[in-house]
């Protein structure tokens, strides 16, 4: 078999991941997949790159059962996504014709950290809103606050476009989380502490906290910490619901899924997000 090392982002066994949804009747939704090929956004940035990848898949039957297309890293202008989607729609049709299932990874929601923006300014040119901010006041400019109206509108539009490829699964990246958005989360309490989030929390609780006074008040106040934790979890849920709502409008047969880590602290967060995916998708 010819090597795939030059094009494979990663090939993994479908294990240690979470999804929601029941079996479906179409060939795209059988649960027989064992090997999947995970692509990056750069793998489909040009027709030439995708054509090379597809040729190798076609010439090596059995090398993968499923291909994850990617929405890419960053917040590029929506025109970038529109161009990518058209290439992925054609690619999905090509894959189905040879018995390979196309799926989709929403590769960036909140984001991972400022290091992802190093030398990639053009890939964040579509970001017009505040970044994830820690309780220390440090903002991660390459991550997104989950309550920013512009961000949620962007996520909806992006998902609406990509769902047109009718993927078997739509996997949401594990960056939809409350921690590890460096540098904002370094030395910070959990959650986003930008002005938008503080104002929303005050509106819910009918309080007048500032970032500084709320941080101080949480010391030793487990009740207040719990309220903030649930508020922050609801912030993530808004993102998950936006993605799922738009996906189901365009591709109701797709299944929603969530990439995640398995550490103990993540279990309540993952469980809550999966409940939202199930509630909105109905499966």
Over residues 255-274, the pLDDT tens digits come to 999 998 767 778 889 999 99
For the entire predicted model, the pTM comes to: 0.88
Q: Which two tokens stand for residue 38?
A: 């995970």
Which of 7-11, 13-17, 99-103 is predicted most confidently?
99-103
Across the range 149-154, mean pLDDT stands at 98
Cα separation, 12 vs 69, whole angstroms:
14
Please check the confidence at residue 88 and state whether its pLDDT lies above 90.
yes
Cβ within 8 Å of residue 60, ≥6 positions away: 1, 2, 4
Confidence label for 116 from pLDDT (cuts 50, 70 and 90): confident
Please check the confidence at residue 8 and state whether its pLDDT lies above 50.
no
Across the range 168-190, mean pLDDT stands at 95
User: How does the average pLDDT of the chain come out, rounded?
Assistant: 89
Confidence label for 99 from pLDDT (cuts 50, 70 and 90): very high
Please check the confidence at residue 110 and state whether its pLDDT lies above 50.
yes
pLDDT at 209: 98
Confidence label for 19 from pLDDT (cuts 50, 70 and 90): low
First and final CA of the chain: distance in angstroms? 38
Burial of 157: CB neighbours in 10 Å, binned 0-12, 13-18, 19+: middle
Cα separation, 34 vs 58, whole angstroms:
17
Confidence label for 34 from pLDDT (cuts 50, 70 and 90): confident
Please check the confidence at residue 43 and state whether its pLDDT lies above 90.
yes
Mean pLDDT lowest for which of 114-128, 190-204, 237-251?
Answer: 114-128
pLDDT at 15: 34
Please check the confidence at residue 112 and state whether its pLDDT lies above 70.
yes
Confidence label for 6 from pLDDT (cuts 50, 70 and 90): very low
Please check the confidence at residue 254 and state whether its pLDDT lies above 50.
yes
% of the chain exceeding 70 in pLDDT: 87
Please check the confidence at residue 58 and state whether its pLDDT lies above 50.
yes
């Amino acid at each position: 078999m010819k090597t795939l090392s030059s094009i494979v982002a990663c090939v993994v066994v479908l294990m240690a991941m979470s999804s929601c949804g029941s079996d479906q009747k179409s060939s795209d939704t059988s649960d027989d997949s064992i090997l999947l090929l995970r692509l990056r956004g750069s793998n489909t940035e040009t027709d030439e790159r995708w054509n090379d990848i597809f040729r190798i898949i076609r010439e090596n039957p059995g090398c993968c059962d499923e291909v994850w297309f990617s929405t890419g890293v960053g917040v590029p202008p929506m025109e970038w996504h529109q161009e990518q989607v058209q290439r992925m729609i054609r690619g999905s049709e090509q894959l189905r014709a040879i018995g390979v299932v196309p799926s989709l990874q929403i590769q960036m929601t909140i984001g991972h950290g400022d290091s992802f923006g190093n030398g990639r300014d053009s890939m964040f040119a579509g970001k017009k809103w505040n970044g994830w901010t820690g309780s220390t006041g440090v903002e991660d400019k390459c991550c997104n606050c989950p309550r920013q109206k512009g961000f949620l509108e962007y996520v909806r539009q992006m998902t609406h476009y990509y769902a047109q490829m009718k993927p078997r699964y739509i996997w949401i990246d594990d960056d939809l989380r409350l921690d590890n958005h460096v540098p904002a989360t370094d030395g910070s309490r959990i959650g986003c502490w930008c002005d938008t989030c503080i104002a929303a929390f005050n509106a819910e609780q009918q309080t007048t906290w500032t970032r500084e006074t709320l941080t101080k008040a949480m010391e030793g106040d487990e009740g207040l910490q719990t309220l903030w934790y649930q508020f922050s979890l609801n912030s993530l849920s808004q993102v998950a619901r936006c993605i799922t709502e738009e996906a189901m409008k365009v591709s109701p047969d797709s299944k929603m899924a969530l990439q995640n880590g398995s550490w103990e602290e993540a279990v309540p967060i993952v469980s809550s997000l999966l409940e939202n995916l199930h509630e909105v998708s109905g499966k």
